[in-house]
């Protein structure tokens, strides 16, 4: 069963302010939206965790398979004008946000594209919303703000100017992170780092 709303994904267009990105507000199907929350891993600590340490249920697994499919890769190539044929992907999950999270950054140089799919039902908090920034100094100097509501997807090209962050939030904030990376070695390095972090924090029930 497909978890992605392919019509929305295949209609997405590139925006360039403040840097190359796209946003889709309803990126998952209604069936997926109604069920994925109940089976999301019970992550109780901040940080990013590998799928080995936060095992997804069947609905979330299907959604991840969609995101790693050739069909989705083809849409990323279309939107960003890239050839991603031989580029590996890395998937991690977050479930909790701490007051230390959200600081302004541009992501690692090992990443080509960063994609964030938010899975928070009924998000009402004014904080914890992703901001795409015009510079690296001020969180209030932003061109785009994305609420982490269930089904919100944002993808952007990693550059030295792809500044982003969010205001302080403490609590549950679920996000599936997918990155296209430059080297086949990068996913192994990051997966190992996340696994050590996860084992030390014991986040899953």
Concatenate the DSSP letters of all residues of 25-84 into one string. Answer: S--B-HHHHHHHHHHS----SBS-B-TTTS---HHHHHHHHHHTSHHHHHHHHHHHT---
Counting the structural domains of the chain, the total is 1
Residue 146, H or E segment: strand 142-146
- Run of H or E including 187: helix 185-201
Spatial distance between the Cα atoms of 7 and 5, rounded to a whole number of angstroms: 6
Domain range for residue 41? 6-12+19-201
H/E element holding 7? helix 6-11
Are 170 and 99 a contacting pair, CB within 8 Å? Answer: yes
In a domain, 165, yes or no: yes
Alpha-carbon distance 27 to 152, whole Å? 6
In the chain, count of helices (H) and strands (E)? 5, 8
Tokens of 114: 């960063």
Q: Residue 23: in which H helix or E strand, if any?
A: strand 21-24
CA distances from 130 to 18, 142, 143, 153 (A): 13, 10, 11, 11
CATH of the domain at 109: 2.60.120.620
Q: What is the pLDDT along the chain (205 residues), one digit of tens a residue?
A: 679 999 999 999 999 999 999 999 999 999 999 999 999 999 999 999 989 889 999 999 999 999 999 999 999 999 999 999 999 999 999 999 999 999 999 998 999 999 999 999 999 999 999 999 999 999 999 999 999 999 999 999 999 999 999 999 999 999 999 999 998 776 555 555 555 554 544 444 4
Q: Given the DSSP bridges, would you call strands 89-97 and 111-118 parallel, antiparallel or unpaired? A: unpaired
Evaluate whether residue 105 is within a structural domain.
Answer: yes
**Is 0.75 topped by the overall pTM?**
yes
Tokens 């697994």 label which residue? 61
Any domain includes 1? no
Q: Determine, yes or no, domain membership for 179.
A: yes
């Amino acid at each position: 069963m497909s978890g992605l709303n392919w019509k929305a994904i295949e209609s997405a267009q590139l925006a360039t302010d403040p840097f190359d990105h796209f946003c889709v507000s309803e990126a998952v199907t209604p069936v997926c939206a109604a069920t994925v929350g109940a089976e999301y891993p019970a992550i109780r600590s901040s940080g990013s965790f590998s799928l080995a340490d936060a095992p997804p249920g069947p609905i979330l697994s299907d959604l991840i398979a969609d995101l790693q499919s050739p069909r989705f890769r083809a849409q990323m190539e279309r939107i960003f004008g890239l050839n991603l044929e031989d580029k590996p992907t890395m998937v991690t999950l977050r479930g909790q946000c701490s007051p230390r999270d959200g600081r302004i950054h541009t992501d690692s140089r090992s990443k080509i594209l960063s994609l964030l799919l938010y899975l928070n039902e009924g998000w009402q908090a004014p904080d914890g919303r992703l901001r795409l920034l015009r510079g690296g100094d001020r969180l209030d100097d932003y061109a785009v703000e994305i609420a982490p509501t269930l089904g919100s997807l944002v993808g952007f090209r990693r550059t030295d100017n792809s500044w982003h962050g969010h205001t302080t939030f403490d609590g549950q904030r679920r996000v599936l992170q997918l990155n296209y990376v430059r080297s086949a070695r990068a996913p192994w390095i990051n997966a190992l780092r996340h696994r050590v972090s996860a084992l030390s924090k014991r986040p899953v029930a």
